[in-house]
Amino acid sequence: MSSWHRSDERTCHSLDGRAVRYIIDCDPGHDDAVAILLAASALDISGITTVYGNASVERTTRNALDFLDLAGLSIPVYRGSEAPLRRPRTHANVHGRSGLDGAELPISRRQPEATDAIDFIVQQASSHPGAVSIIATGPLTNLARALAQHPHIEPAIASLSIMGGTPAQGNTTPVAEFNAYNDPEALDTLLASSIPMYIVGYDLTSRTGLTDHHIARLESSGRRTATFIGAVMRFYKERQMAATGLEIAPQHDACAVLPYLTPQLARYTECRASVELVGSLTTGMVVFDRRPPQMQRSRPAPFSDRRPVRLCAMLSTAEVIETIMAAILAYP
Ligand code: BDR
Ligand code: CA
C-alpha cells in the first residue's frame, strides 16, 4: 500500500503555475464554521456554497452569512441544494435546531448571491480550469449535480477534499457517516469521477476535537469570533457527549482543509472507494479497498474502473488542534 504525504500536481497549483482558488461546499454547522475560519486564514476562498445537512439549506445559508459577518470575512455565499438527489434527508441531532446552536449569532444584512451554488461551481471551474479546488464538508449533492449537468467541468477541477465516510464505525448507522449517508448517490458519483480526491473519515475526525480547556481558552479570549466559537462548541460538545459518548467537540470538517494548509499533519493512503447504495443494513457505507496490491489483481467492479482516492490514514491530532486554535484566535 503506498503512502501519500503531499498532493500531486493538480492540487496546489494549476499546470501553468497559477495559485489555486478554493470553494468551500458546506452545511454550517459548528465544525463547518471552524473549517471556514481555518481555510480562510490562509487560502484564497472564492466562494462558499451551501447545502442542507446539519439544518435546512435556508438555515445553513443564513448561518454562513451571519457567521462570516461576525468573523469579518466578506466571502460571497451561494445557496445550494435543499435535499439529496434521490432520498429524503436525514436530520442531524448534534447541532441543535438552528444548525449552529449555543450562542446568539447577530443577524447580518448580507444576502446570498443571485447565482446558485451549482452555477457558481460550474462558472469557477470553467473560467479557471485546473485552478479550482473544492473543500466539501456536507452532503455532496451540489457537486454531484454540477458534474451531472456539466460533465465538462470534471477535468477542470484541480482537486477535491471531502470530510465524509469512514473505514470504521459510522455515526449515523453502524457503518455510515452522516455526510455519506445523507446522499450516497452523490458521493458515489464523485468517487467514480477522475477528480483527484482526498477523503478524511469519521474514524480520525471523531478523535480530533476541542477539550473543555480549549473551549475555555476561546471563551476567555476577549475576541468576538473566538468567544462565539467557544460558546457554540460548549453546546456541541455536550450534544456529542449525549449522542455519541465523545468527550470532545470533534472538528470533523477542519480536517478536510489540511491537505491544502498543513499537509505535513496528515498522511494518506491510496485506495479505490465505492458507496453501498442498495444494502439492507449498509446503505451509505463507503467501502475502501485497502487490500495490498497483490490482493487487488482481481479487482471487482465498480473498483476496477475507479481512480484511487487518498484516504487519510493518520492525523497529528494535537498539532491539528493547535493549528485550528491559532486560526480561530487570529480573527477579530
Ligand atoms: C459530519 O456531519 C456533520 O454533522 C458535521 O458537520 C460533519 O460534516 C460528521 O459526520
Ligand atoms: Ca458539515
Q: Which atom of ligand 1 is nearest to the CA of 94?
A: 4
pLDDT for position 18: 59
Average pLDDT over residues 10-21: 58
User: CA–CA separation, 115 vs 123, rounded Å?
Assistant: 10
pLDDT for position 11: 43
Q: Check if the beta carbon of residue 259 is closer than 8 Å to that of residue 232.
A: no
pLDDT for position 44: 97
Residues surrounding ion ligand 2 at CB below 5 Å: 27, 29, 32, 137-138, 253
Q: Is the pLDDT of residue 48 over 50?
A: yes
Question: Nearest ligand, CA of residue 246?
Answer: 1
Grid cell 471523531 — which residue?
A: 206
pLDDT for position 5: 38
Average pLDDT over residues 256-283: 97
User: CA–CA separation, 169 vs 286, rounded Å?
Assistant: 11
pLDDT for position 19: 74
pLDDT for position 3: 39
Q: How far apart are the first and last CA of the chain?
A: 44
User: Percent of the chain having pLDDT more than 70?
Assistant: 95
* H-state helical runs in 87-205: 117-127, 141-149, 178-182, 184-191, 202-205
Mean of per-residue pLDDT scores for the chain? 94
pLDDT for position 298: 81
Ligand 1 pocket: which of 90, 100, 237, 253 to mutate (most atoms within 8 A of CB): 253
Residues 6+ apart with CB under 8 A from 258: 200, 265, 266, 312, 315, 320
Q: Is the pLDDT of residue 4 over 50?
A: no
Interval 172-223: pLDDT, tens? 999 999 999 999 999 999 999 999 999 999 999 999 999 999 999 999 999 9
Domain range list for the chain = 7-329
The band of 7, judged by pLDDT with boundaries at 50, 70 and 90, is very low
pLDDT for position 296: 83
pLDDT for position 9: 35
User: CA–CA separation, 56 vs 188, rounded Å?
Assistant: 22
Q: Is the pLDDT of residue 14 over 80?
A: no
Q: What is the pTM of this model?
A: 0.95
The band of 17, judged by pLDDT with boundaries at 50, 70 and 90, is low
CATH number, domain 7-329: 3.90.245.10
Q: Is the pLDDT of residue 6 over 80?
A: no
Q: Between β-strands 286-289 and 77-78, what pairing exists: parallel, antiparallel or unpaired? A: unpaired
The band of 297, judged by pLDDT with boundaries at 50, 70 and 90, is confident
User: CA–CA separation, 27 vs 100, rounded Å?
Assistant: 10
| Pocket residues: Cβ below 6 A from ligand 1 | 29, 31-32, 54, 92, 137-138, 163, 171, 177-179, 202, 252-253
Active site residues: 252
- Name the amino acid, one letter, at 238: E
Ligand 1 pocket: which of 25, 30, 179, 203 to mutate (most atoms within 8 A of CB): 179
Q: How far does the centroid of ligand 2 lie from the alpha carbon of residue 117, in Å?
A: 16
